[in-house]
Structure 1
Amino acid sequence: MKDLGKADLLLGIKILHSKSGFSFSQEHYIENIAETFDITNLPPVNTPLKRGLQLTKTSEDEVRAFDKLGLNYKSIIGTLNYISTNTRPDISSAISHVSQFLEQPSLNHWVANLQVLCYLYHTKKLTLNYYNIGRKNIITYSDADWAMHSFSKIR
């Protein structure tokens, strides 16, 4: 084995080293995705999804109309999920919400994904930071939000 030194890039994630810890960035990846989906000229948004947005089940007519557009819903969800799990947990709730419609998406669901992407593009300089604070224990917090499933039988 050969020591190549500190890693600067791993799976498209830029690693920034400092005395206080590490920062992880996907700025370049987000820029490329924004260009792919042609959202670079859209105005900035403050949140991943509009406040109070209620996405609902799609009718068969809406599904057929969406299919005719040839848009790859699963691709944009996969892309956003990759970013969310690696460096941008701030969009996790939004991705969870729009992922419910993988099998029957509509144009409304697509537009919601574009808003998430637009949010990412205009906040692309945000990084995920891990600081060396001297502790050896990991502290985590979690929240389950079953109330988000207003149209399903999950309660």
Structure 2
Amino acid sequence: MVSTKLPRQVDQSRIKLLAFGFTHSVHDHCLFYKISAGRFLALVVYVDDVLLSGSHEEDIAALKLYLDQFFTIKDLGFAKYFLGIELARGSHGLYLNQRKYVLDILTDVGMLDCKPASTPLPTGLKLVAKGGVPLPSPDRYKRLICCLFYLNMTRPDITYNVHHLSRFINAPTSLHWDVALHALRYLKGSPSTGLFYPSSGSFSLEAFSDADWGACQDTMRSLTGYCFFFGGCLVAWKTKKQNSIATSTAEVKYIAAGSCCAQVLWMRQQLRDYEVEEKEIPIMCDNTSAIAITQNPMLHSRTKHIDVRYHFIRDHVEKKDITLEYISTDKQLADIFTKPLCESRFEELKHELGLIELS
């Protein structure tokens, strides 16, 4: 994996890459890839920063020479730091973290010497919009939440926390600020936590889908949480408030599974760019009633009020694009994205997600 810099000539860069034999991904417009005779080469562009990766080093070297003819690129060598993410390589795999970014946030807020906390949120805490005294200047709160959003790129353990706090970004109060500072105390205790990707693994995609019924105390809307593993490694995750009020746990889990299914199908299309074909991708759900809705059309009378866009999951179950499988709640990894957990459960799920702390 090599990092380079290109001048900001987007159209010309695209034309030259296509001329070199690259294909521009229709599923991710930042991605260009080339597959030929079992050799793989990929290029990811962000403004003028470029990350190169491939199965053969000589292909990467040839690409750099080709690009340098037209743009005079700056070769930064093996990627160690890209867009604020630190990359540590070893024989066993790749480790991603944002330690420096965490320390910069703590320094900016004046919390570098604070006492660490064991979890991002106190167990069971659910904030409301009117709690506390309105902050006289909300800009500092907004700045902090935006920083935490970017940190979420390598820290799925704070995803629920960031989503919860971002709901109040337009009118934050003293209570919201105090809880945000609690999140910083958690980061102080684990600044080097990051994701580890082993150098060997299988080409299998699986998803975990969960929901928390009536999670928002102000609107009574539920919360969807899901995560995706490729070859046993966490590659994507999300926490999102649902658009409508659900009338039962089964309904909220069904809606969450529908949202997860849409993301699974997009990821399957992305994998096809790499000539990896996935069929019957499992989505793990801890609610048997939600699974039954996808398999039994006779339950339509109970679910006809649900937005039609969520029912497409039934078609993909029938086509065997996905399988909705039951998993017990204690093994539901997406649980960490839907609610604040006790320390023991939180640490257990962090480990299952592949988060590690390096000193």
| Residue aligning to 1:108 | 175
Distance 1:109 1:89 in 2: 21
C-alpha root-mean-square deviation of aligned residues, in Å? 2.0
| Residue aligning to 1:21 | 93
Shift of residue 4, structure 1, vs aligned partner:
4.8
CA shift digits 1:46-97 (9 cap, x unpaired): 10011122311127x933xx1x24652211111111111x111001011111
Indicate how the Cα distance of structure 1 residues 74 and 120 shifts in structure 2: closer, same or farther if over 3 A, else same: same
Indicate how the Cα distance of structure 1 residues 134 and 77 shifts in structure 2: closer, same or farther if over 3 A, else same: same
TM-score normalised by L of structure 2: 0.39
Where 1:144 maps in the other structure, the secondary structure is strand
Where 1:24 maps in the other structure, the secondary structure is strand
| Residue aligning to 1:72 | 140
**Unaligned segments of structure 2, at least 5 residues:** 1-63, 66-74, 222-244, 246-359
1:8 aligns with 2:80: yes
Distance 1:118 1:97 in 2: 17
Identity %: 31
- Whether the 8 Å CA contact 2:214–2:220 is kept in 1: the answer is no
Where 2:211 maps in the other structure, the secondary structure is coil
| Residue aligning to 1:38 | 110
| Residue aligning to 1:138 | 205
CA shift digits 1:13-59 (9 cap, x unpaired): 11011122210011111111101101122211110011122311127
* Aligned counterpart for 1:93 among listed residues 147, 151, 160: 160
Distance 2:138 2:127 in 1: 21
TM-score normalised by L of structure 1: 0.86
Question: Which structure: greater strand fraction?
Answer: 2
Indicate how the Cα distance of structure 1 residues 132 and 35 shifts in structure 2: closer, same or farther if over 3 A, else same: same
Where 1:73 maps in the other structure, the secondary structure is helix
Greater relative CO (CA pairs within 8 A, separation 6+): 1
Distance 2:100 2:211 in 1: 32
Q: Which has the larger radius of gyration?
A: 2
Where 1:139 maps in the other structure, the secondary structure is strand
* Aligned counterpart for 2:133 among listed residues 62, 86, 96: 62
Distance 2:76 2:107 in 1: 33
Distance 1:82 1:70 in 2: 19
How many residue pairs were aligned?
150
